[in-house]
Chain A
């Protein structure tokens, strides 16, 4: 089966520092891929390259087997790739609907320059509520996002990505700084994305969460891919060993 997203021979340098060194990774529709590794392993660099925030020095990125160019986050958005960074990139002063549609507002008439088009506020609010309901993200208030709890904010960020990602959702540390119950909700959200046949890439340090939701785990160290396993009770020790630098 052709992977939805694949990267071949990905190499990225920052001066003398090697961020990525000939990394091959692919992810299929309806699959959750975990990217694991210690700090400085190259996970963040890889997802920045996949989301268009950084350009590869060498290597190829393919969507459905076809080579694509990702020069900017806008290119990634157009290809159906959405990323939720660890800082969530939310606008605390705006409501969920405004956060959902920031930079891609529904507005008209189309003959006017984009900046002075009239917002279709009701339509944006309605669609946002529908998406949040579909993904079972419960909000007791649709006011400013800054007043939501950590889990609810994470829910809004993930739902926003899910709403616009037709193919791939990339999540950077989605459960960091969340309590047990709120982490549970985010993990359920990831499983729902998988049910919707989205390809999901999760970067996480929380091994128990990885074990629960990931279908496959790629382990990275010092910019290189050092292993690829199916997470299970049997492979747990092997994965940890690869992360910290031991052999398989």
Chain B
């Protein structure tokens, strides 16, 4: 009897091992998904549009994606912490407007830069403090309110119109380039390196992922959850300030309507990059991949003379696919856990 049972058990175990390996491979594929999709997109667009892979056009893509990428870096931290920041687009506008007003009165590049970044940091700090100290259940409402307040402030301060003029240095940063590579590319690269250091090598980064993964356990472990959340929103605001600096430089002015819907682009970039909307998961590289995916889609459709509203739809479809991929990933992870328990039994 035992002799008959053993081969059946072995066959069952082998099948289990095969299923486990298959699930692991599927999980690996889903993790690499965002980068593979971007790669595929680049290959397809290069084959269908010869002009795409010219240095000038690549420079265009970098230039158009710079602000989204900077905002996405801040938004990534917020989403990893289980939050959302809807105010970044409005902050881009207000910081640029304040910068332009400061430049009207004082022709100092340093003061303008400090004003622009200071506005971003202040808005972010306010978001974080209201969310944490006000014990608001979710940051959606807080940042939705600040979106409205900040956009209103920008329109009020600029009297609803463009305020022309920015220091030459900021113009160069936002609109200049070294041969075909825009300066904004270096800003994005610098911020990305700082973000990788903060999230991977510093204690703060570990706290961020712990808070996003399990806030209750983080509290019980003695992690200063409130402090982590305030800094996350402050950094996101500061990133929006940098976005404001690049936009103001590109436009050579402060525009109260700048950054319109940029908050949605930044959220889309982070989610397309495979971050979990439920928090605790996401990384800098993939957030940039998400931002450049949006940039490449827009650029490709522009090159094909496709109307702008189709671009919105295309990005919406990619976003839905990314969210669905996250759902599938959660399902596969549960199956892996189950398969592991079966192997242990």
- Chain A residues in the interface with B (C-beta under 8 A): 53, 73-74, 77, 85, 87, 89-94, 98, 101-105, 107, 114-119, 121, 140-141, 146-152, 179-182
Contacts and interface: CB of A to CB of B under 8 A. Distances in A.
Question: Chain B: interface secondary structure?
Answer: helix
Contacts of B212: 93
Given A89-B216, A93-B213, A102-B223, A179 B202 contact: no
Contacts of A101: 206
A102 B340 CA distance: 25
B203 A115 contact: yes
Given A89-B217, A181-B345, A152 B340 contact: yes
B344 interface: yes
Contacts of B201: 118-119, 121
A146 B337 contact: yes
Given A93-B280, A93-B281, A107-B203, A182 B210 contact: no
A149 B202 contact: no
A115 B228 CA distance: 9
A91 B204 contact: no
Given A103-B223, A146-B337, A118 B217 contact: no
A91 B209 contact: yes
Interface core residue of B201, B212, B224 (most chain A CB under 10 Å): B201
Nearest to A118: B201
Contacts, number: 107
Contacts of A149: 337, 340-341, 343-344
Interface residues of B, number: 33
B260 interface: no
A102 B281 CA distance: 16
A84 to B, nearest CB: 11
Given A102-B223, A148-B340, A91 B210 contact: yes
Nearest to A51: B220
B282 to A, nearest CB: 10
A182 B223 CA distance: 30
B214 A116 contact: no
A111 to B, nearest CB: 14
Contacts of A150: 337, 341
Contact of B344 (A87, A98, A104, A182): A182
Contact of B220 (A89, A107, A148, A151): A89
Interface in B184-215: 201-207, 209-210, 212-214
A120 to B, nearest CB: 10
Nearest to B23: A147
Contacts of A73: 220, 222
11 contacts: A90-B217, A91-B218, A93-B281, A102-B206, A119-B206, A121-B201, A146-B337, A147-B333, A148-B337, A152-B340, A182-B345
A103 B336 CA distance: 28
A105 to B, nearest CB: 5
A32 B150 CA distance: 60
A182 B333 contact: no
B307 interface: no
Nearest to B211: A91
